[in-house]
Structure 1
Amino acid sequence: MTGPFLLKTDPDDPSLSTSVSGIDQDGVSVETRVVTEKALTLYLNSQEVVTMMTIGDHPELLAVGYLKNQNMLAADDVITGIDYDDDLEVVVVRTERETDFEEKLKKKVRTSGCAQGTVFGDVMEGFETVSLPQDARLKTSWLYELTRSINTAPSLYLEAGAIHGCVLCREDTPLVYMEDVGRHNAVDKIAGWMVLNEIPAHDKIFYTTGRLTSEMVIKTVMMGVPILVSRSGFTAWGVDLARRAGLTLIGRARGKRFVALAGTERIEFDMAPEHAEDEPRKARRKGSAPET
């Protein structure tokens, strides 16, 4: 376990950020940490699927999660191996079943996600068939505790900025905290962890620092997670898709405030905002970027 988390991006990993010299607004020399970006080309068996820009940690989880969320891995697919070559910047996922996605790969759609997220045109076929559990619940006491603990945890964002984070939670406990230059990559790493460890999704809550876009809603639904929370805002299509899928969608979750625009029937108001513990001020590390 990494601190209170089962798995977490390590903000102290020297390969994930580097020190760069510059000057500040007063012309004074400064040293600041900046995140790395690496190209990672993903193959499914012998077929090249996509090249992603990523910080480079947990490439195996990213690969499996990407394929799962793009509907390229079926529930009954057996993964026989995952090969990663750091020098070639290539990861290969191998399955028992032969795969051929030539037609699917022609239908790429660039999403609104940073770092040029990509989904494929027929991914909605899988989206429309997902049935999210109706008995899932989100207590407001859980939500207040999650936002407090996540927003104050040591992170690569606090170390270097220019990064998005996603957290898989159960009730008021954060389980897995992944970060990347694109929020879609952080989501896919968590999805990969769930697939490889056979983690059930019906009782989970998904938290993201990024906007609640159509891409984020689609990925969360494809993972089978019934509740999606963000400290940021919404897009209209994201809200529409969440309502169609029966996903609980909560945004602008900061401190003791939040706005729910879909799936509100799952929310249990067991704690009034004034009774929630105040979120302590973040202790920023030297050279970290201001919050955006």
Structure 2
Amino acid sequence: MARNANWVPDDVDPGLASAARLCDYLLGGGHNFATDRALAEELLLVQPNARTIARLNRAFLRRAVLHLLDHGIRQFLDLGSGIPTVGNVHEVAHRAAPDARVVYVDFEDVAVAHSRMTLEHVDRATIVQEDVTEPDAVLAAAHRTGLLDLAEPVGVLAVGVFHFVPPERDPVGVLATYRDAVAPGSALALSQFTSDLQPVEMAGVVEVMKKSMNPVFPRTRAEITALFEGFEVVPPGVVPLPLWRPEAEIAGRDDPERAGILAGVGHKR
């Protein structure tokens, strides 16, 4: 991509790959740099299923949003929302419930800049630029938008983001702060890279992502389940992406053992 493209903030360093832009490339998007594409190709060498995993994670996001809408939730806080692609939360939510409100949260400059462009003429959806591991700052910024009312149930979406949170940042504690802030009836939808599926390939992913601005920290099923502390996890529990309430028969290319990510949804009672 050209350095002077109108979606590139002036202070962005195109020489350091980011997870948001890498994922954009894997999903077929155009808001990425040569460094992102080069690192994505390295990723595909160690995890040939990376594009499928990205697609499966996006599909889980859609199913989770629809599930939360079915449970009466009409406002969403999308943590680590990344670069907008087809099937954004507000697109999924507004088709089913035009009154739904969405606050996206990301820290990466390109993700935020492009989200602002995408959302410029969209009602009931906006983005705030904050670090998701600073929940008090995130919640304050989201409240200032006028779209998030913590007195009402909130769908907290942490889809494909907490594997970028190192253990020393206390991911369980961070999510507990979000949980304690939202009203009963709220819910958490979460997906995260796991070392329980394809451990050799996941070790390769960890090494490749060390070259980016977003190292990866895969977790075991037990560690991922612990992220739902204080939420009642709904069936089928914390499972590989394709197994979370699939809408159709699972295709061979969507083999759960190669999904790379575990996912689940929990409700706050």
TM-score by length of 1: 0.30
Q: Which has the larger radius of gyration?
A: 1
Higher helix share: 2
